[in-house]
Amino acid sequence: MSARLDRRFAQLRAANRAAFVPFITAGDPDPDTCAALLRQLPAAGADIIELGMPFSDPMADGPAVQAASLRALRAGTTLKDVLALVASHRRDDADTPIILMGYYNPIYSYGVAKFLADATAAGVDGLIVVDLPPEHDDELCLPAVESGISFVRLTSPTTDDVRLPRVLENASGFVYYVSITGITGTKSADSAQVAEAVARLRRHTGLPIAVGFGIRTAEQAAAIARTADAAVVGSAIVTTIEESLDAGGRATPATVDRTLALVREIAAGVHGARGS
């Protein structure tokens, strides 16, 4: 596990609260607006930041995150730009862990060794690579862990007790539980079912457990935060970004403010969950 991620979860355990993990896509809707959002997320309540690496075929993502990826790609965002964004953020924020989420094709094209070297230098703490199963851990997972970058593994309601040990074998940082069967932002998570799933995962791993997909409101996030170690919210945030744009798809003066207002609202739900 990265030292920064390890330290953050230890701080949260000591405070008896879960982490709030907002997701935004790097370069959405444009580089400057994204950088402004990223810079202000920690003050708005983000404990860990999940930053999407825009990709043209995001198979695990629903319409909202797909649209965010397309906006970022149209703005010219490359994987090199994603890493530069993290490096720039690190000059002002040395503490908030940043997890990159995306797909293997851009990393493979960039070159795995160069990507890991540049990601380490930029201050990346972890990777979520949706389309790289544990059977291919030699490709990226193991080199990432050797570089000090956590490799966060996804599990889902369909990951049974036979498959789970293989999925968790080289996982590090935390385990990401996908709370619905399907793509991001299309259903709501059932908090009772999530609690059962989190309890089952805890019997298999000592890693923190984050829950995402299907969490859109402060109330839903609070319900998840009572049992999981982190609640991840993505589609609701990128939808707010989209709804703030002008008719030409450009950021407006409201884009950052509206998005941060939602982040603060959901963060308050997560941070107050165990005291309510």
Positions annotated as catalytic residues are 50, 61
Reported as type and span, the H/E element at residue 19 is: strand 19-25
Reported as type and span, the H/E element at residue 176 is: strand 175-178
Residue spans of beta strands (DSSP E) within 179-273: 209-212, 230-233
Which one-letter amino acid corresponds to residue 15? Answer: A
CA dist 249 and 72 (Å) reads 11
Residue 47 makes CB contacts below 8 A (sequence gap 6+) with 8, 12, 19, 20, 21, 96, 230
Residue 122 makes CB contacts below 8 A (sequence gap 6+) with 83, 84, 86, 87, 90
CA dist 102 and 82 (Å) reads 11
Q: Decide if 130 contacts 60 (C-beta within 8 A).
A: yes
Residue 45 token pair:
């309540």
Own/partner pairs for 7-10, CB < 8 Å, 24+ apart? 7/95, 8/47, 8/48, 8/95, 8/96, 8/97, 9/174, 9/208, 9/229
Reported as type and span, the H/E element at residue 117 is: helix 112-122
Q: Decide if 152 contacts 132 (C-beta within 8 A).
A: no
Q: 151 by DSSP, 3-state: which?
A: strand
